[in-house]
């Protein structure tokens, strides 16, 4: 299945059915009166978050989604049938944006979440709805209310706990395959990874989701290489794992290149927790490892870990560090969610003490 993380689609809800103009006609009943029923409601367009999907490829081959109009009303006070809704099924992590590709309509983050994007038009009233004591035979009806139409963008941002970033050939795909059951393509040329990959990593009886995105190069924010659009897939990550190829001559330049692209993409992404890792130490001498680690720590102001994704050196230690950071982040998010719910209900804050 091909991976598609962005699509533009046209939506149109159905019109409401018109009301009926009808009078009761039966033998021996001279004045039957109006009995025209109302029209049915037009179908709505709904987006629903479902499990089992990880791409928007369904919206590559169909871009127009239109609901049917409601059925017209009929005599004998019969209302028209409502039209069936059109349900768009999307994977977890999909954002729906306006035609400008900037204004967020909704963010689908939980399975079962659904949002109405276009409401179906209400059915028009038949003449039976207009009868009064002074107007016994109204000939007035209403047409159905029109539906809504709009263009929207669907943008998928994968939901993962940790994200891998780095230059091409930094060893990200090798790291993902060594720590999970994912089988990404691995080769000795740049841009082996063309689409994001997810893997479930286990350590100490716990699990977390790791995302690998295509490598970034200098100028990716200006469209060079594969661009930096794939950085959207690590926006939701709680921590970034920055891999640096230890065989590079200038590891500081590699570090600064990725940091520059993260900052050019979004400030909140550059501000995320980051673990700096020097990879491929199996191909370096001990003196080279010490020198490059010292240079990176001086340039970044952070502690630098050393691993070899190919041989598995120090990977387990790194996994436990990631688990600790992710666990703390989840705890903070849970506490913030509880406080937000308390504020919405207007209840006193239980953590406050005089």
d(CA 112, CA 29): 54
pTM for the whole structure? 0.77
Q: For 202-219, what is each residue's pLDDT tens digit? A: 877 888 888 888 777 665
Domain boundaries, the chain: 1-156, 162-337
188 band by pLDDT with thresholds 50, 70 and 90: low
Angle, vertex CA 110, rays to CA 240 and CA 264, nearest 5: 35
Tokens 């977390």, residue located: 208
9 band by pLDDT with thresholds 50, 70 and 90: very high
In this predicted structure, the answer to whether residue 226 has a pLDDT above a threshold of 60 is: no
84 band by pLDDT with thresholds 50, 70 and 90: very high
- Find the length of the chain: 354
d(CA 114, CA 50): 9
pLDDT mean across residues, the chain: 86
Return the bridge partners of 244, or none: 278
DSSP-derived 3-state class of residue 46: strand
d(CA 286, CA 284): 7
- What pLDDT does 347 receive? 57
d(CA 239, CA 235): 10
d(CA 118, CA 148): 5
What would the DSSP string read from start to end of 222-282?
GT-TT-SGGGGGGTT-SEEEEEEETT-S-HHHHHHHHHHHHHHH-HHHHTSEEEEEEE-GG
Task: For 162-337, give the CATH class.
Answer: alpha beta
Residue 294 burial (CB < 10 Å; 0-12/13-18/19+)? exposed
In this predicted structure, the answer to whether residue 224 has a pLDDT above a threshold of 80 is: no
Could you say which architecture CATH assigns to the domain 1-156?
Distorted Sandwich (2.70)
What percentage of the chain has pLDDT greater than the value 70? Answer: 90
């Amino acid at each position: 299945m091909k991976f598609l993380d962005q699509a533009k689609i046209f939506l149109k809800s159905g019109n409401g059915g018109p009301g009926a103009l009808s009078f009761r006609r039966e033998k021996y009943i001279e004045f039957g009166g109006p009995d025209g029923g109302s029209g049915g409601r037009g179908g709505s367009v709904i987006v629903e978050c479902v499990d089992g999907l990880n791409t928007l490829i369904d919206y590559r081959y169909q871009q127009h989604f239109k609901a049917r109009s409601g059925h017209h009303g009929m005599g004998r006070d019969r209302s028209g049938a409502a039209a069936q809704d059109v349900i768009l099924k999307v994977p977890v992590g999909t954002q729906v944006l306006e035609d400008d590709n900037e204004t967020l309509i909704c963010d689908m983050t939980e399975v079962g979440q659904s949002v109405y994007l276009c409401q179906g038009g209400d059915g028009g009233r038949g003449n039976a709805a207009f009868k009064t004591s002074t107007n016994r035979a109204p000939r007035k009806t209403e047409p159905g209310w029109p539906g809504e139409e709009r263009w929207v963008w669907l943008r998928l941002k994968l939901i993962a706990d940790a994200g891998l970033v780095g230059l091409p050939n930094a060893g990200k795909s090798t790291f993902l395959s060594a720590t999970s059951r994912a089988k990404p393509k691995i080769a000795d040329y740049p841009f082996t990874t063309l689409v994001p990959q997810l893997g479930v990593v286990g350590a100490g009886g716990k699990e977390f989701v790791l995302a690998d995105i295509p490598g970034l190069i200098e100028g990716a924010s200006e469209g060079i290489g594969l661009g930096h659009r794939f950085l959207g897939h690590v926006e939701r990550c709680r921590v970034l794992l920055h891999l640096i190829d230890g065989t590079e001559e200038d590891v500081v330049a590699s570090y600064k290149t990725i940091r520059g692209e993260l900052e050019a993409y979004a400030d909140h992404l550059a501000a995320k927790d980051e673990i700096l890792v020097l990879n491929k130490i199996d191909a370096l001498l001990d003196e080279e490892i010490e020198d490059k680690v010292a240079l990176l720590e001086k340039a970044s102001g952070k502690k630098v870990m050393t691993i070899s994704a190919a041989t598995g050196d120090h990977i387990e230690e790194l996994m436990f560090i990631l688990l600790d950071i992710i666990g703390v982040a989840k705890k903070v998010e849970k506490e913030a969610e509880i406080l937000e719910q308390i504020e919405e209900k207007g209840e006193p804050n239980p953590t406050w003490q005089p």
